[in-house]
Copies of this chain bind each other. A is one copy, B any other.
Amino acid sequence: MKIAIAQINPAIGDFEGNIALISDRAEEARCRGCELAVFPEMAICGYPPRDLLERNDFVQACFEAEKGLVSAVGGIGVLCGTITPAAGDGCGARLHNSALLFKDGHELGRVHKRLLPVYDVFDETRYFVPGGPAAPVEFNGHRLGITICEDMWSGIEECAALPFYRENPVAELAGQGVDLMLNISASPFALGKAEARICVLQQHARRMRLPFLYCNAVGGQDSLIFDGSSLAVDKRGDVACRASSFREDLVVLDVNLPEGEVSSEERRSWPECRAEAVCNALELGLADYTRRCGLHTVAIGLSGGVDSAVTAAISCRALGPEKVLGVIMPSPYTSAESIEDAEALAENLHIKFITLPIGDIFSSYLNVLAPVFEGRPPNVAEENIQARIRGNLLMAISNKLGHMVLSTGNKSELAVGYCTLYGDMSGGYALMSDLPKTLVYEVARWLNRTGEIIPSRVLAKPPSAELRPGQTDQDDLPPYEVIDPILEFYLEKSLSPSEIVQRGFDRDTVFKIISMVDRNEYKRKQAPPGPKVTSKAFGMGRRYPIAHRYRPWVHV
């Protein structure tokens, strides 16, 4: 049996567009001789619609779209994600997250997601009622074991640190006699996730001696990047087919049932290193975010530093250099080298740039504030005024010319609060906000692998905000090579300060960094969204109170 994995990029709430996308891809699969085309989780409405699912009109529109789709496609079976009304389970949820199998106007099977993630960025019990145990679904004489996303992430302790689930939907289905396992997903990208998925599929396939086909969504939805990277493994767990990562794709495979052999001509290349994967994720996130917001050009403040350089370089890859405007905003503290580096970057990228010096505006602020500032020593106030002048200029350009402003701050800065709210944090999308500073450098070096795009001096010089004479980041902070591993233990592993000290870090440094992280929660609550690339990003996935009084370093 020939099957197509149709790895599409549905837009949330674009029912007409999504239905057209599914119909077109199903027809393409039919023309290529497939009996079945497989689409991602919630392909009809897009994922995650979040509280749009609480709206009757949205839910009804999805049901209507599903009806239209079922009657529109002919000559091929289609498996795709949708939603189904559910009896209230007691939490206010009233829908199932479902996989629908249909052909020629007839529904052949409908399976509901059983394991509903509620950790990190996921809130699935807010909307969905878990499905009960399900049976395999018959299709053209074969028994298909159908699961949805999280359903396959159970019983596979080898592959990832996962929540423990009592139920193992894949094993339960296999126990009932299945010829082919399928999973439809909307599984967001994080570093290492694609490898974890392969591991999960392989372990299941090997234990059950069954082939396993996996179809993931692709696309950027606010801060979540769905990377696609769909694949199929044969009954030995060997990878037989790989769809692209970070773009739409349709791959065809031959599945020999019940023998469990899988063959395919199609095995796309995946990113070769994590810098490439991150770069691809950011490009997709930015392209989809701007497109879906109806903005097609971006403005970026170029400081001569590495963060803005990488932001600009990735924007050019995502949107094209003609859609990117660089804005150089020197202050009295900006070095000549920084201006040269920013200009050299703009020239390397072939982007237009303008230079707007901020010295006169800064003076006019100091004049007006003289009665307030008089007799008080210079402090962060004077530094932040400059950052906020730059934010105001960028937003003025945005309001006048229609560009979306991209903020350029990285995760390390955002974590310790080394950034100015309403200043360099201003923007519609925070492209680097989940990249630790050390990863920003890694991506910069990868971008330069075949020739200098980011001027080499940018990578060589010590990072500086240049908001006071001779300032460097390391005047105020430990080196990023020290900060970043501490942050990873604290943010991604949820370790306590004392557990981190036990990992061999200097006690005072750990306490300093962590108290900075905690004190700056208020800034992050007002940050623009940005693409998640690590296992734990700021935003929806990390929900901390601002005004709490937990100070674990005091008594340690």
Contacts and interface: CB of A to CB of B under 8 A. Distances in A.
A528 B526 contact: yes
A343 interface: no
Taking the full assembly, how many copies of this chain does it contain?
2
Contact of A422 (B51, B381, B384, B391): B391
A48 interface: yes
Contacts of A527: 526
Interface in A306-348: none
Contact of A116 (B91, B220, B496): B91
A550 B292 CA distance: 11
A92 B268 CA distance: 34
A400 interface: yes
A525 interface: yes
A476 interface: no
Contacts of A11: 548-549
A296 interface: no
A365 B395 contact: no
Given A422-B422, A547-B222, A547-B288, A90 B166 contact: yes
Nearest to A56: B496
Interface string A413-433: 000000001100010100000
Which of A119, A363, A548 has the most C-beta atoms of chain B within 10 angstroms of its own C-beta?
A548
Nearest to A426: B422
A17 B549 contact: yes
A376 B56 CA distance: 43
Interface stretch (A33-41, A134-142, A366-374): A366-374
- Residues of A in contact with B, size category: 35 or more
A123 B367 CA distance: 49
Contacts of A125: 91, 118, 125
B115 A93 contact: no
Nearest to A550: B13
Given A400-B372, A498-B57, A528-B525, A293 B90 contact: no
Contacts of A164: 88, 90, 92
A271 B380 CA distance: 43
Contacts of A166: 88-90
A542 to B, nearest CB: 6
A141 B115 CA distance: 44
Interface stretch (A178-186, A205-213, A238-246, A350-358): A350-358
A92 B384 contact: no
A365 B550 contact: no
A357 B368 contact: yes
A83 to B, nearest CB: 14
Given A354-B372, A356-B369, A522-B528, 5 more contacts: A55-B496, A92-B117, A376-B400, A384-B399, A526-B527
12 contacts: A13-B551, A50-B545, A52-B545, A55-B494, A91-B116, A91-B119, A288-B547, A361-B368, A380-B399, A384-B399, A391-B422, A395-B422
